[in-house]
Structure 1
Amino acid sequence: MSFFQAKEFSYHIGWRSRGRHAGRHASVQTGLGMEFRGHAPLIAYPDPRRIDLRQTLRDPSEQIFVRMFNQKSSIPVYALCDLSGSMGFVGERSKLALAAEIAASVAYSAYRVSDPFGFVGFDDMVREDWLFTSTTKVHGAFDLTDRLGDYRPSGGANGLLDADRFLSRERSLVFLISDFHMPSALLEQALGSLMRHHVVPVVLWDGAEYRKLPEFGITSVTDCETGARRTLFLRKGYRERIAQAFEDRRQMLQKLFMRFDMPPFFVEETFSADALTEYFYQFVAA
């Protein structure tokens, strides 16, 4: 997906950035902003443009005071993408092509508000050939997402346990893109390692995995716990059990993510940037 085709969505955070670079988000940094922070002596904060005459005249020690403001700052934004075998599923469309579209949208949306963007791909390890260093110059990220749509993944998802080491030390907004067909214990441990960041789990499922299976006949399905592909002879009862297993998995994922205060965003076959904007209005205080 090219730079000009990427869809933009709006995001905001419910915490204060510690970033020193100017941006669009509430910050703890003192600077040229509009949010009043308090007063300080001119000698401690030498900016004559901010002298407050009223506060100065009220001070019995006759110090000169200036007004201090918090600036708006940038935050690091990442797409953390699952490249394990289950992401190779192709139903209504390729899961990795969908992941590439979402990652490109994240990169473009970050670029539009001057936030640096980075990409981390993992399967059984974090893949050095699928790393994009956090930067505001994101054109290279679109070259990576173009490659992602044609990639043939394999292996498991154990690399998620090490992903935190490749993210910024500063608190970041992380879009964790996966079908989450991985062992629950692994996912729970990985979410614990990511708790210092603001994580948005983007869950990629496809109706062809469970809702649109044939009523009768031979088909290939994905085990919703291990991600393994299996060939099955379907009957009505078996088809219903597969659908129920996915519904149980959905509920389990929702409960697990909410335990870590990470509301999931489910995407089935079609990505809507407007729906992701609505997600932030629903779950993150403006």
Structure 2
Amino acid sequence: MADLASLQSGPLRDLPYRVAWRARGVHAGAHRGTSSGAGGLFRDLATLLEAPDPRRLDLRASLRDPFEQLYVRRFERSTAITIYALIDVSASMGFVGNMRKLEVAAAICAALSFSARRIGDRFGVIGCDREIVPELHLPAARARAGAVVAALRTFRPTRRGAGGLVDAAAQIAGRRKLVLLISDFQIAADELAAVFEALAAHDTVPIQLIDSAEAASLPRFGLLPLADLETGRRRLVVLRPSLHAAWQRERAEHEALLASLAARYARPPFRIVDRLDWDRLAAHLMEARG
């Protein structure tokens, strides 16, 4: 199976990320904030009455003022943010062909946990099928996410639906967060739209896991036994050109819906096909959007 050994072993990776928006909060961190404080980038000048801190008196600006007011320099305070990984663990995520989707999701969570802890950010994980899965729920903290990462690696998806992602979005409502939405996005159109709408207030990065063995081209003719991972139903299908074309059209329409929802509510989707390319993922996470 592609890249499985490298995902499970070796030192923890540092996965950089960046946000374009200014974070609100009281904890010092590595991101541009909305408040002023000691150190950081120069923000602006203010009168001594507005910012009573004579230690940062700017004599040149004060001497230039015809009204003889005293000015002090204000600096932008670097602030910590909160990151969440919301992971679809519905039945379709259990398909194993050229990759184990939850193994890739677990590796991403391990790298994010390491990176967030290093720079002072808080990191949390919520795994969902039709509900939030308790053993895959880690509230955001500055501690390592080792236990939930291990649980993700051994979890076997069996239940259909991803409605729990909407419940997860409600749980993390409030101050803006960086959210990685990890899924194969084989989700019903109405559920998919509801998930993106629920996360509209956050900086959301959709990460689509694609197993090429699952999405391989179907023959145009013949008998094909099919198993629906979401419903558990099995049936024998007689393939013909019209049915083949309908499936291809439905797949293209679903991909177009995902792209449209991401354009409206989130960053562009990042697609992982069979193998996780860490450099490409890091570059994508550094392409911050406001």
TM-score, normalization by structure 1: 0.85
How many residue pairs match? The answer is 281
Structure 2 match to 1:75: 81
Structure 1 match to 2:3: none
Q: Is the 8 A contact 1:211 1:243 kept in 2?
A: no
Deviation at 1:122, TM superposition (A): 1.2
Unmatched tracts of structure 1, length 5 or more: none
Deviations 1:193-215 (A, max 9, x none): 11110000111111111226689
SS at match of 2:21: coil
State the distance in 1 between where 2:71 and 2:166 align.
Answer: 50
| Residues 98-107 or 37-46, more deviating | 37-46
Deviation at 1:87, TM superposition (A): 1.2
Pairing 1:253–2:258 present: yes
User: Which letter does structure 1 place at the counterpart of 2:146?
Assistant: F
Deviations 1:114-155 (A, max 9, x none): 2111111111112333211211222xx122111211111223
User: Which letter does structure 1 place at the counterpart of 2:141?
Assistant: T
Deviations 1:247-286 (A, max 9, x none): 44323311222122431111122112211122245x5359
Q: Is the 8 A contact 2:136 2:151 kept in 1?
A: no
State the distance in 2 between where 1:239 and 1:210 align.
Answer: 13
Pairing 1:101–2:91 present: no
| Residues 247-256 or 152-161, more deviating | 247-256
SS at match of 1:23: strand
User: Which letter does structure 2 place at the counterpart of 1:190?
Assistant: V
Structure 1 match to 2:140: 134
Structure 2 match to 1:24: 30
Q: CA RMSD in A?
A: 2.8
Structure 1 match to 2:4: none
State the distance in 2 between where 1:93 and 1:231 align.
Answer: 25
Structure 2 match to 1:91: 97
Q: 1:156 aligns with which of 157, 161, 166?
A: 161
State the distance in 1 between where 2:276 and 2:113 align.
Answer: 15
| Residues 31-40 or 260-269, more deviating | 31-40
Unmatched tracts of structure 2, length 5 or more: 1-6
TM-score, normalization by structure 2: 0.84
User: Which letter does structure 2 place at the counterpart of 1:170?
Assistant: R
Deviation at 1:3, TM superposition (A): 9.5
Q: Is the 8 A contact 1:203 1:267 kept in 2?
A: yes
Q: Is the 8 A contact 1:181 1:227 kept in 2?
A: no
Q: What is the identity percentage for the equivalent residue pairs of Structure 1 and Structure 2?
A: 35
State the distance in 2 between where 1:3 and 1:66 align.
Answer: 52
Q: 2:46 aligns with which of 21, 40, 43?
A: 40
Deviations 1:40-69 (A, max 9, x none): 233443333311112222345544321001
Structure 2 match to 1:279: 284
Deviation at 1:9, TM superposition (A): 2.5
User: Which letter does structure 1 place at the counterpart of 2:195?
Assistant: A
State the distance in 1 between where 2:32 and 2:165 align.
Answer: 29
